[in-house]
Amino acid sequence: MTGHPLLSRRSVLGAAGAATAAVVGATTATGAGDSVPGALRPGGRFDRFVAERAADGRFSGTVRLAHRGRAVLTRSYGLANRDSDRPNQAATRFDLASMTKQFTAVAVAQLVQRDELRLDEPVGAYVDGLDPAVAGTVTVHHLLTHTSGFGRPPLQGPGEEPPPAPSGIEETWDARMELLRSLPAPDFPPGSRHRYSNDGFFLLGAVVAAVAGTTYHDYVAEHVFRPAKLRDTAFPTVRQLRADERWARLYEPRDGGFDDVTASDRFRYIGGPDEGATSTVADLVRFATALTDDDVLLEPAYAHLITSPKVVAPPPSPDRPGPPRDHGFYGYGHSCSILRGRRIHGHSGSGPGRTTNLDVVPELGWVSVVLSNHHDDIDPIVGLARELMTA
């Protein structure tokens, strides 16, 4: 869907054949070298594929491909705000959902690098009030790799609403911590298996706050966002998100129309260590560059530590195979894959009204960012980008 009448499929695909194609709601930036294949350039196979899905109503958001830090292709489709007919743009800020876990992992690794935190230390050494079986057996490593057995299963997919949200930043944090302290012993021996845990990553944020002596949000803003020059990345409150046109609203299909998820009183007041930071495609390319190339956020050894495999990821489900990979793993707050002998790291995110993905191919200098403010299936877009980047 777009903010203007849709182009027909024929006109969208025809117009995408030129590098300067006038695609509804789209912007393009070029400037990479001759090593960029035509399939990834404006008018190429990837560009046409995204345009086709948008014309069919299967994508609303922004994509960016970047090579060695320079934008090769940027496209935006659909509406950031349906009430005002404001289109998604390159500078639109999208809810990242679980992609936020990458920032938490960087924060933890910075404290480990400074020898202020140990990966093998039980979490009870840093956070009080937890069930003794959690405090004494779950380590920072277990939380980072989703092998702790701690926490509730994540809520995923459309139609699943969380409980009414607390109002206020401190109230939101305190309510979640009270819940985490009430959770029982891990469901399985820590380290024995992999099970994704949003609660585990929120607990990591509490570890960061306790060790750093500040709030999680302040630490990440000062030590992750600022040095990486992420000018448009933040944890907005729901009041800011509703009032400021820079942010995309989140939409779920319902009864032939769309519900604004952010208008619900159940929508969380502010994001946290597990989900809910907002960012732009440009900032996420800067984040990838700062992490993999510039030694800005971490020393190379520690950047490799969090982006390299630690546990084997569960196999894809038959009904949702996901983007292509020869092997899949999870690192520290980063998913890791091998495709055609090339390493890919990053993270995905999903929830009511949002679907996101960041892929980094460090050896080839490629970054792919896909941000949607619908619960779209973006796996085909992510998958084609992977195939073309590693070809």
Active site (catalytic) residues = 98
Separation between Cα atoms, residue 332 and residue 83, nearest integer Å: 39
Q: Which parts of 162-237 fold into alpha helices (H)?
A: 169-182, 198-212, 216-220
- Cβ–Cβ under 8 Å, residues 60 and 77: yes
What angle (nearest 5°) sits at the alpha carbon of residue 223, between those of residues 337 and 311?
Answer: 25
Q: How far apart are CA 63 and CA 106, in angstroms?
A: 24
Contacting residues for 28 by C-beta, under 8 A, at least 6 apart = 19, 20, 21, 42, 73, 74, 75
**Token code pair at residue 208:** 């960061």
CA pair distance 216, 294, nearest whole angstrom:
24
Nearest-10 Cα torsion for 373, 231, 282, 235: -30
Cβ atoms within 10 Å of 295's Cβ, excluding its own? 12
